[in-house]
Amino acid sequence: MTQESSHTMNATTAPTTGRPLLEVTDLEVSFHTQNGIVNAVRGVSFSLNAGESLAIVGESGSGKSTSATAIIDLLPGTGKVTGGSIRLDGTELVGISRAEMEAIRGSQIGYVPQDPMSNLNPVWNIGFQVMETLLANGIAKSRKEAEAKAIQVLQDAGLPDAGKRLRQYPHQFSGGMRQRALIGIGLSSQPKLLIADEPTSALDVTVQRVILDHLNTLTRELGTSVIFITHDLGLAAERAEKLVVMYRGQVVESGPSREILANPLHPYTQRLVAAAPSLASRRMQAVKSHENVAIAAPTAALDLTLIERAEQREEAATAASPIISLRDVTKQYKIRTGGFKTELFTAVDKVSFDVHPGTTTAIVGESGSGKSTIAKMVLKLEDVTAGNVLVDGTDVTAIRSAKDVLAFRRRVQPVFQDPYGTLDPLYNIAQTIAEPLVVHGVGTAKERTARVRELLDQVSLPVSTMSRYPNELSGGQRQRIAVARALALKPDVLVLDEAVSALDVLVQGQILNLLTELQSEMGLSYLFITHDLAVVRLVADSVCVMKSGQIVESATTDEVFDSPREQYTKDLLAAIPGAGIELGA
């Protein structure tokens, strides 16, 4: 893993136009931890010319963010640059004083952070936060000038009626609007270089695309060089000319994006390319459109899964009566609108669909579309306002006695998004998995332990995991535990609410494969809720696309991907990162 696979046009060599804008050579970053020094970045080199874009790709912990934050000396905690050099326009940035760095931040290097929800100070209005940037970087001399410029900055960032919004606070903005404001702030002083750290990973796909398009336009107009940090290879290849692939603190491959994507040299990059759901889905598309063309190399287990699934779908199409059936289900919430007045908000509006035994139905939609509310109603965690939720023919609303509710819960189990928040940190893994068994009074202590071993085996975790605690496990391992816990009672139905959304691509692929295997082994039915259409193709038999509480399109997965009927579905499909990339099949 130590040698760097290089493509013909090496990213680290300066082209003919002269000195590159940014030159990072042999960068070393280490953190002090209780277990000694951890070298998070080891000998990283890359360079970037004026007006160019570069993406650093890798999974969490690969050092991609650390490398980028080292450039503007914003390393978290005990992080320190311990070697190498970072040159901006020929000026060394490593080891300069705090004041010198303050002069460079904002005005020469802009920064767009990852999570728009936490990166604006909640107690100051948006205008203030833009204006102070302009004043600090000497772009505006007076408050009045700053205000006028701030309106301009926000308008350029794509915020309509910025003048009125200046006095609004972050909590009054949607995620997309906040990210626009942050992009505006990052570009407000017209820096030469912009570092965008996963700038849209917290946003819905359609919003993501609009914002990235806009960022593209802005930086091209201003001639700004951009460094994208991302875990999404599809997004990276689509948005950046150059790619730097990082793994465990080192650069394993770098070069022009398209070249790397078409012909990944390093085994890790090959795995990444194979695992990216957006790209796998795209390959599937390619295979389907030229039936006779064999896949260049069936690199990925995912590709095989895709093909298998397509075959299985044919069989599953004519199944027995549905295990879950929603009939005109509506959910309304009361919202206080000030004073004693309340208003009814319809989260789910007359939704009907079926899930057949042994199949997967995916519900796709953006945040606020009502998809998670459906999950809660199927799980009987929320009451239904109108309509019927039938599980195996029984209306869940009619299940009242504590005993019947327990019996119902035995059959329908959830797996939620956040593998960090859904496992009790004070329970070890054996206790966590055995808890449903204890609650439902299943078996003796000995039998329960045996069952836990069996379940761990099913989710491919070693038995030694039993005595460990959630904080000792990775995100993927935790999500396996969550799946094992859901399976403990041998349910018929799993409700998977964004169950793979928080995971790295490679891990995501593993969990999806695990779910598919478990389904064919045990005949489970899945209600799969996600915002990510790319993932849907890998797991779902049929898809319901939701928008503002209603199902706008409902069909088999192939129909939705091959011939979407609704414009909204087409928008969603087009927004999958990497959808615009041509694969040199």
Pick 337 or 467: Cβ nearer another protein: 337
User: Which residues is 527 bridged to in the sheet?
Assistant: 361, 495
Count Cβ atoms below 10 Å from residue 212 Cβ, excluding itself. 21
- Of 18, 36, 90, 122, which lies in the binding site for another protein, with binding defined by CB under 8 A? 122
Report the half-sphere exposure of 69 (CA within 13 A, side-chain side): 18
**Considering the rule CB under 8 A, would residue 171 count as an interface residue with another protein?**
yes
**Considering the rule CB under 8 A, would residue 254 count as an interface residue with another protein?**
no
Distance spanning both ends of the chain, measured CA to CA:
27
Is the distance from CB of 579 to CB of 278 less than 8 angstroms? yes
Q: How far is the CB of 179 from another protein (least distance, A)?
A: 12
Query: According to CB under 8 A, which residues from 432 to 471 bind another protein?
Result: none
Q: Specify the amino acid at residue 58.
A: G
- Of 7, 105, 288, 327, which lies in the binding site for another protein, with binding defined by CB under 8 A? 105
Pick 105 or 214: Cβ nearer another protein: 105
* Angle made by CA atoms 335, 340, 346, in degrees to the nearest 5: 20
The 187-216 site mask, x for binding another protein (CB under 8 A), equals --x---------------------------
Pick 81 or 390: Cβ nearer another protein: 81
Is the distance from CB of 469 to CB of 432 less than 8 angstroms? no
Residue 111's contacts (CB-CB under 8 Å, 6 or more residues apart) are 72, 74, 105, 186, 194, 195, 196, 197
Pick 137 or 208: Cβ nearer another protein: 137
Pick 183 or 389: Cβ nearer another protein: 183
Query: According to CB under 8 A, which residues from 332 to 391 bind another protein?
Result: 336-339
Q: Burial, 508: exposed, middle or buried (Cβ in 10 Å; 0-12, 13-18, 19+)?
A: buried
Stretch that binds another protein, among 131-139, 204-212, 293-301, 554-562 (CB under 8 A): 131-139
Stretch that binds another protein, among 24-32, 178-186, 351-359, 561-569 (CB under 8 A): 178-186
The whole-angstrom separation of Cα 232 and Cα 532 is 12
The 314-343 site mask, x for binding another protein (CB under 8 A), equals ----------------------xxxx----
Q: How far is the CB of 60 from another protein (least distance, A)?
A: 16
Q: Specify the amino acid at residue 203.
A: L
Nearest to 552, CA basis, from 385, 295, 350: 350
Q: Does the CA dihedral 480-519-434-406 come out positive or negative?
A: positive
- DSSP string across 50-104: TT-EEEEE--TTSSHHHHHHHHTT---TT-EEEEEEEEETTEE-TT--HHHHHHH
Alpha helices in 360-421 (DSSP H): 371-378, 402-411
Q: How far is the CB of 209 from another protein (least distance, A)?
A: 23
Stretch that binds another protein, among 110-118, 150-158, 229-237, 452-460 (CB under 8 A): 110-118
Q: How far is the CB of 512 from another protein (least distance, A)?
A: 30
- Of 30, 133, 269, 530, which lies in the binding site for another protein, with binding defined by CB under 8 A? 133
**Considering the rule CB under 8 A, would residue 127 count as an interface residue with another protein?**
no
**Considering the rule CB under 8 A, would residue 60 count as an interface residue with another protein?**
no
The whole-angstrom separation of Cα 323 and Cα 357 is 5
Q: How far is the CB of 29 from another protein (least distance, A)?
A: 16
Pick 159 or 306: Cβ nearer another protein: 159
Q: How far is the CB of 123 from another protein (least distance, A)?
A: 6
Nearest to 548, CA basis, from 386, 378, 348, 364: 348
- Of 33, 91, 172, 460, which lies in the binding site for another protein, with binding defined by CB under 8 A? 172
Pick 60 or 467: Cβ nearer another protein: 60
**Considering the rule CB under 8 A, would residue 115 count as an interface residue with another protein?**
yes
- Of 94, 120, 455, 489, which lies in the binding site for another protein, with binding defined by CB under 8 A? 120
Alpha helices in 79-174 (DSSP H): 98-104, 126-136, 143-156, 162-165
Helices 505-522/277-289 angle, 10° precision: 60
CA distances from 126 to 179, 319, 477 (A): 12, 54, 40
- Reduced to 3 states (helix: H, G, I; strand: E, B; else coil), residue 253 is strand
**Considering the rule CB under 8 A, would residue 520 count as an interface residue with another protein?**
no
Q: Specify the amino acid at residue 15.
A: P
**Considering the rule CB under 8 A, would residue 169 count as an interface residue with another protein?**
yes
**Considering the rule CB under 8 A, would residue 222 count as an interface residue with another protein?**
no
Q: How far is the CB of 106 from another protein (least distance, A)?
A: 2
Pick 39 or 125: Cβ nearer another protein: 125
Q: Which residue is listed with tokens 């119902």?
A: 408
The whole-angstrom separation of Cα 488 and Cα 87 is 55
Q: How far is the CB of 110 from another protein (least distance, A)?
A: 8
- Of 7, 12, 83, 132, which lies in the binding site for another protein, with binding defined by CB under 8 A? 132
Pick 118 or 467: Cβ nearer another protein: 118
**Considering the rule CB under 8 A, would residue 103 count as an interface residue with another protein?**
yes
Query: According to CB under 8 A, which residues from 563 to 582 bind another protein?
Result: none
- Of 27, 46, 53, 111, which lies in the binding site for another protein, with binding defined by CB under 8 A? 111
Q: Number of residues in contact with another protein, rule: CB under 8 A?
A: 39
Nearest to 242, CA basis, from 474, 500, 47, 492: 47
Residue 377's contacts (CB-CB under 8 Å, 6 or more residues apart) are 329, 331, 348, 383, 384, 389, 396
Pick 52 or 73: Cβ nearer another protein: 73
The 70-99 site mask, x for binding another protein (CB under 8 A), equals --x-x-xx--------------------xx
The whole-angstrom separation of Cα 503 and Cα 517 is 19
Q: How far is the CB of 506 from another protein (least distance, A)?
A: 26
Pick 215 or 348: Cβ nearer another protein: 215
Is the distance from CB of 258 to CB of 516 less than 8 angstroms? no
Interacting residues with another protein (CB under 8 A): 72, 74, 76-77, 98-99, 102-107, 110-111, 113, 115, 118-125, 132-133, 136-137, 169, 171-172, 182, 185-186, 189, 336-339
